[in-house]
Amino acid sequence: MLAEFFQPVMKIVLKDKIREAVKVLYNSEVADDLIQLQETRKEFRGDFTLVVFPLLRFSKNTPEKTGETIGNYLKTNFPSVSGFNVIKGFLNIEVSDARWIEYFAGLSSDRDIFGGCKVKKPEVILVEYSSPNTNKPLHLGHIRNNLLGYSLYRILTACGHKVIKTNIVNDRGIHICKSMLAWQKFGNGETPESGRIKGDHLVGKYYVKFEQEYKIQAEELAKTGMSEADARNSAPLIMEAREMLRKWESGDEETVRLWKMMNSWVYAGFDETYRALGVDFDKIYYESETYITGREIVLEGLRSNILYQHSDSSIWADLTTQGLDHKLLLRSDGTAVYMTQDLGTAVARYRDFGFDKTLYVVGNEQNYHFQVLRALMRIMGYTFADGLIHFSYGMVELPEGRMKSREGTIVDADDLIREMKETARIVSMELGKLSEYSDDEKEDIFRKIGLAALKYFILKVDPHKNMTFNPAESIDFNGNTGPFIQYTYARIRSVFRKAEQTGMVPDQAAVINARPGDKEIDLVKLLRKFSDTVSEAAAEFSPALIANYCYDLSKEYNQFYHDFSILGEEDYSLRNFRLFLSKVTSEVLRSGMWLLGIEMPERM
């Protein structure tokens, strides 16, 4: 809906008038890229700002004088411009209230709200997120990963791209063998059913058990005079885990059977967590399959003399000419490393989808890994290498510090989701506004509020920055939180339920006759920025831009709601303007939060 409103129409028209001004004032044609028009910064008066410096070649005058001359022309010849001011080389242009009212009155309710965000050249974009290991359950770090990936999918799709949601499950390697070996030694045949525990939690328990026993063995060896490194390398458990990996890669039936059984437990657990979090995938790849393709690529690279082999039979790539290092691709025993798997996965995905870009939603501790991946793909002749983009996000911690999987000090995703729902229940019941609802309705509201608190708190932060997740802060109904934005939406829906009960229906035709004040006009101006915000979020891969826009809009609307009557306004046109303004605000909030994967309750 509202395509005309959310397209940058006003900016386009203003650019045309500026081009006209240069033609009339300086008898010159100006290229479009020289008309640099942007939103006026909050600390200055105005709606749009023209950067004057590129136009000095035509005016042959100072930036201040050029700005004054163009500003006077626009104010005289373009009724939509009500005023201007010049600060150094910047012309701040004010759009008249009458134009904003006319603009707002022209809204239509039968268009795509994302119509103004569509890119001219859509691309095929793969977004890889989640990427779990099958030796432990999903935790808080995975939550940030999944929420970022899923939100990017929705944002890019809204802008017209064809987006494929992918996941690579790291289901092989020494870490997987650690869990398998510990279960063999200490599990006594325990299953998810017998232990009454989710499968991913069960396998994660034995990964921690391995590390505990391994640490004890290494410490005992160190007491004999071994160095710490030699002790960890020679401990019996790690030697057995390495042997298990070799057996797995050689296809040993018993090892593969154990691997399949334990992985099936983990997948069932993952699926349950994904459903609770509200994310999904179009295509799941498995490292146990793609590493085979990767190994074939490495061996072909060796045959073609692109790669080289050490005397111990390990295979390497020399990337020093690209400013990197030498990279191991196959160990001396023939087993593959992570990079081998990523080579195979990239090629498999390109064969499947012929993508323009692949976004790897992976933490910033892997920055070097993805530099190496692109460099490897280039030297091996893959033309799509430059389309491999590492979406590098910061780590997420708790107020008490960083989580450690090996020590079992992680914040489990299932526990956190459950905790957020329970916190939402407590806060909502204290507010005492849900007495009329059934138990099922209440549970649905608690779920939506709890997940909104979790998702919004994580997504509002610049994804490239490290962050601290504070559960107590995330659910504050009065702060920069998901529940605050949900409450604003529910408040608007309540206004419309009351309007319907009294027979009031927004009359769009009456809006043009309204004479709203500054607060209403400020809301209209902010609503117009939704399209640009979504476009910017897609270009910069930043859900945080949309999250904070939704907060700003909610804050602005709540101030308006506090200061002015809507249904009690006696002036018919003004009442309709406020009703219609509320309607559009609710639709933008719902759409913006949808892009973040957040549901909006009709009542709270």
Residue 562 falls within a domain, yes or no? yes
Residue 315 and residue 224 share a domain:
yes
Residue 199 and residue 74 share a domain:
no
Mean pLDDT for 509-533 is 92
Residue 179 and residue 44 share a domain:
no
Distance CA 48, CA 529 (A): 12
**Which position has the higher pLDDT, 428 or 297?**
297
Query: Does pLDDT of 104 surpass 90?
Result: no
What is the torsional sign of CA 373, 374, 380, 384?
positive
Helices and strands (H, E) in the chain, number of each type: 23, 14
Here the CATH number for the domain that contains residue 557 is 1.10.730.10
Least confident window among 40-44, 253-257, 485-489:
40-44
Mean pLDDT for 526-532 is 91
**pLDDT (tens digit per residue) in 412-469:** 999 999 999 999 998 888 877 787 889 999 999 999 999 999 999 999 999 999 999 8
Matching residue, tokens 């020590």:
407
Tell me what pLDDT residue 111 has.
Answer: 52
Give the predicted TM-score (pTM) of the model: 0.90
Residue 174 and residue 282 share a domain:
yes
Here the CATH number for the domain that contains residue 337 is 3.40.50.620
Query: Does pLDDT of 109 surpass 60?
Result: no
Residue 423 falls within a domain, yes or no? no
**Which position has the higher pLDDT, 377 or 107?**
377
Tell me what pLDDT residue 10 has.
Answer: 76
Tell me what pLDDT residue 401 has.
Answer: 52
Residue 121 falls within a domain, yes or no? no
Residue 481 and residue 371 share a domain:
no
Distance CA 422, CA 424 (A): 5
**pLDDT (tens digit per residue) in 172-222:** 989 999 999 999 999 999 999 999 999 999 999 999 999 999 999 999 999
Per DSSP bridges, beta strands 162-169 and 388-393 are unpaired
Q: Position 242: which residue type?
A: R
SS3 604: coil
Q: What is the number of domains present in the chain?
A: 3
Residue 195 and residue 72 share a domain:
no
Please name the helix (run of DSSP H) or strand (run of DSSP E) that holds residue 50, with its range, or none. Answer: strand 48-51
Burial class from Cβ neighbours inside 10 Å (0-12, 13-18, 19+) for residue 225 reads exposed
How would residue 6 be classed by pLDDT, with cut points 50, 70 and 90?
very low
Matching residue, tokens 């944002």:
155
The segment with the largest mean pLDDT, out of 76-90, 423-437, 494-508, is 76-90
Query: Does pLDDT of 404 surpass 60?
Result: no
SS3 390: strand
Query: Does pLDDT of 403 surpass 50?
Result: no
Q: How many CB atoms lie within 10 A of CB 337?
A: 17
**pLDDT (tens digit per residue) in 464-489:** 999 998 888 898 888 899 999 999 99
Percent of the residues in the chain that have a pLDDT greater than 70, as a whole number? 96
**Residues contacting residue 500 through CB under 8 Å, at least 6 positions apart:** none
Residue 29 structural domain: 3-95
Matching residue, tokens 């033309």:
383
Least confident window among 9-13, 229-233, 410-414, 546-550:
9-13
Residue 210 and residue 75 share a domain:
no
Residue 189 falls within a domain, yes or no? yes
Residue 40 falls within a domain, yes or no? yes
Residue 322 and residue 182 share a domain:
yes
For 323: left if phi > 0, alpha if psi spans -120 to 50, otherwise beta; the answer is left
Q: How far is CA 209 from CA 246, 260, 375, in A?
A: 22, 20, 38
Among 70, 95, 120, the domain boundary falls at 95
Query: Does pLDDT of 304 surpass 50?
Result: yes
Q: Position 570: which residue type?
A: E
Least confident window among 31-35, 77-81, 107-111:
107-111
Residue 292 and residue 200 share a domain:
yes
Distance CA 101, CA 99 (A): 5
Tell me what pLDDT residue 178 has.
Answer: 97
**Residues contacting residue 74 through CB under 8 Å, at least 6 positions apart:** 14, 17, 18, 21, 81, 84, 93
In 146-305, beta strands by DSSP E: 162-169, 283-286
For 396, the token pair is 């997420």
How would residue 332 be classed by pLDDT, with cut points 50, 70 and 90?
very high
Cβ atoms 528, 149 nearer than 8 A: no
Distance CA 585, CA 567 (A): 16
Distance CA 462, CA 71 (A): 36
Among 80, 95, 110, the domain boundary falls at 95
Helices (H), 354-412: 367-379
Residue 91 falls within a domain, yes or no? yes
Least confident window among 18-27, 94-103, 447-456, 531-540:
94-103
Residue 375 falls within a domain, yes or no? yes
Distance CA 377, CA 485 (A): 44
Distance CA 119, CA 599 (A): 26
Residue 167 and residue 84 share a domain:
no
Residue 511 and residue 386 share a domain:
no
Least confident window among 256-260, 274-278, 330-334, 450-454:
330-334
Residue 297 falls within a domain, yes or no? yes
Here the CATH number for the domain that contains residue 86 is 3.30.1360.70
Residue 19 and residue 164 share a domain:
no
SS3 9: helix
